[in-house]
A and B are shown apart, each in its own frame.
Chain A
């Protein structure tokens, strides 16, 4: 089993839709969790950290489910500009972050 797994997608949604991605991790000792956004031919950019209590930043909500070992990212009221690949990153307990391969989101008019 991979340390961090994501559904590659693509997720095709219309503008205004709500979409959610999950990211599962294998190491129950993981302590730090992050979501990144990567546009085509660009570097990954930090979108948000994921806290135990969950956190929200505008239209984006991140949550952690330790019992089932996954994190989620919810995007409300999708915009065309949200089209990108979303990477999760997990501190696996051996200190380094491990990145998922990403979930591609396509928002259409």
Chain B
């Protein structure tokens, strides 16, 4: 089992460009999450999907959109990237929202 996979691993964007971060899990988990991690700020939840077909905002949703494509896949879209979105983005999944989460390897995004 690959666990949680994320693509791409690295990305550099110019201000105003758009992109989609992909995440997939093969653990048959119901819940999936997108976090960003910045120095000194810890993990901040952007959006989550408690189950297939549902999505909810987290702590820092502005500037992002998500799609729960199916049970396995949960994508994060930046419509118009800004330098403030330079960060490391982690996707995670869990059997349910109150269970332990398992993380993907992350995407390092730089917005110039």
Q: Chain A interface (Cβ within 8 Å of chain B)?
A: 31-32, 34, 42-46, 49, 87, 89, 91, 95-97, 99-102
Contact = CB atoms under 8 A, between A and B. Distances in A.
Interface of B: 40-43, 45, 48, 50, 58, 90, 94, 97-106
A101 B42 CA distance: 4
A46 B41 CA distance: 20
Q: Per DSSP, are chain B's interface residues mostly helix, strand or loop, or mixed? A: loop
A46 B102 contact: yes
B49 to A, nearest CB: 11
B109 to A, nearest CB: 14
B37 to A, nearest CB: 9
Nearest to B88: A41
A56 B35 CA distance: 29
